[in-house]
Amino acid sequence: MTTSPDTGAGPPPAPRDTPMTLLNTQYLPSSRDWRTPAGRADSPFRADTFVREAQRAEAAGVDAFFHADFSGVDRANLRSGPPVNAFEPFQLAALVAAATTRIAVMPTVSTLYNHPFTFARNLASLDRISGGRAWVNVVSSFRSGTAIGMQRDVPKAKRHAQTEEFLTVARELWASWPPEALVPDPAGGRFIRDDLIADVQRSGEFYRQSGPIDMAPYSARFPFTLQATSSLEGLRLAARTADGVFAGTPTLGAARQLRRILRTEAERAGRSPDAVALLPGAFIQAVGSADQAERLAFAERQRRARAFGGRAALDELQARFPGLRLHGTAPGDRLPADVLPEDPDEVFAAHGSRYLPLWDVVQRRPRTAGEFAAEAISLNEHARFTGTPERIAEEMRRWYEEGGVDGFQFILGNGFEVLCEEIVPGLRKAAAR
């Protein structure tokens, strides 16, 4: 018997009154406080620390505990800080799942250095351990020097096709065990209806598969799938195969444009425009008072003026964003009208999502090239929210209500306790008002 399941991503999520929230393990105290008096030097390698932090996030109402992972050794950063991948992602997710009851657990899988069968098997096991709370972050590894035990030289031009086939095979394997195949019947002596288990027969460009997965998933629906992307082709892949997109959108204008493009691409792929959630990274800088927030903002403006003014800023900006039309422009010159295309769709198609924040800066009509450079070069990769916890929650809520995002991934910031005790609950309170 051959399967013919619907192997695309699942239906759109149920409507929400509050933004979806994902907690990246890089935000946690155990990942960054190893040199502080309050921290422990070995915290990044203590699984019990991650479990306690996940429990704290669950109590606050965070939707998912997300463990990013990068294949290979990043030698440049090992000296000054703990590695991101202190634990194998699926093992850490299983440990967290066993110690929690509601929060989703999201490990990362590389489509280049795993096989769909092994991936589907691990994910099905995690889904059963967690009682249906398994999510997954899907990436193509990008580091040179990645240590693997098999040859996977997929040309860059074919990475998206390979990832799509990987997910198609994994979803077919998941669907090979329908829920009605499990019929534990002590009296009749039958545990599984093996006649309902479908054989997956596939011979594609990248993978061959014969037979079903060898364990039953807990959930009928394939888990929520997140993909990171910054290109149009990557966004189109996510629109066909993912449930969520992670991208850097440091301004609300850039987030709105990217979400609009994502919704359009989802419709073009035959899905609901609400099927794929935009979940950008959030950098949280919580302070105790509005006055303190204003002082920080003023200091940041002064820092920008000192650090990013003049010819050096223009040169660095042009080097960082070669698609900008700034060649031969002096800081005091009027900003060229054609520095970027006027249509954000053209900007994204030509340069990717990294350029959308620059388009947003252009829309504010800076008078000179120097003013444009000072603002553009100081943008963070992720959205930055500074202020009192209440003000941060209100601003994040505004991004959600004004169509910029479907949720956030807390990736950097201060104050894990403040995040759990005030900001995440504050998002729910803002929705109730």
Q: Which residues define the annotated binding site for FMN? A: 69, 108, 230-231
DSSP element (H, E) containing 399? helix 389-401
Angle at 236 between CA 233 and CA 240, to 5 degrees: 140
Question: What proportions of the chain, in percent to the nearest 5, are helix, strand and coil?
Answer: 45, 15, 40
**Which of 62, 53, 136 lies closest to 95, judged by CA?**
53
In order, the DSSP letters of 30-67 are HHH-TTSTTS-TTGGG-HHHHHHHHHHHHHHT-SEEE-
Q: Dig out the tokens for 185 from the structure.
A: 């019947």
Distance in angstroms (rounded) separating the CA atoms of residues 321 and 112: 28
Distance in angstroms (rounded) separating the CA atoms of residues 357 and 230: 12
Residue 240 neighbours by CB under 8 Å, 6+ apart: 8, 9, 164, 269, 271
Identity of the amino acid at 319: A
Distance in angstroms (rounded) separating the CA atoms of residues 140 and 110: 5
Q: Dig out the tokens for 172 from the structure.
A: 């077919």
Distance in angstroms (rounded) separating the CA atoms of residues 312 and 319: 11
- Rounded to the nearest 10 degrees, how much is the dihedral formed by the CA atoms of 374, 380, 383, 387? -70
| Positions at the binding site | 69, 108, 230-231
**Which of 207, 209, 241 lies closest to 226, judged by CA?**
241
Residue 276 neighbours by CB under 8 Å, 6+ apart: 9, 238, 239, 242, 243, 244, 245, 262, 263, 266
- Looking at 130-272, list the stretches that DSSP marks H as alpha helix, in order from N- to C-terminal side: 159-175, 232-241, 252-268
Which SS3 state, helix, strand or coil, does residue 397 take?
Answer: helix
Identity of the amino acid at 42: D
Residue 129 neighbours by CB under 8 Å, 6+ apart: 94, 97, 98
- Rounded to the nearest 10 degrees, how much is the dihedral formed by the CA atoms of 413, 414, 418, 419? 20
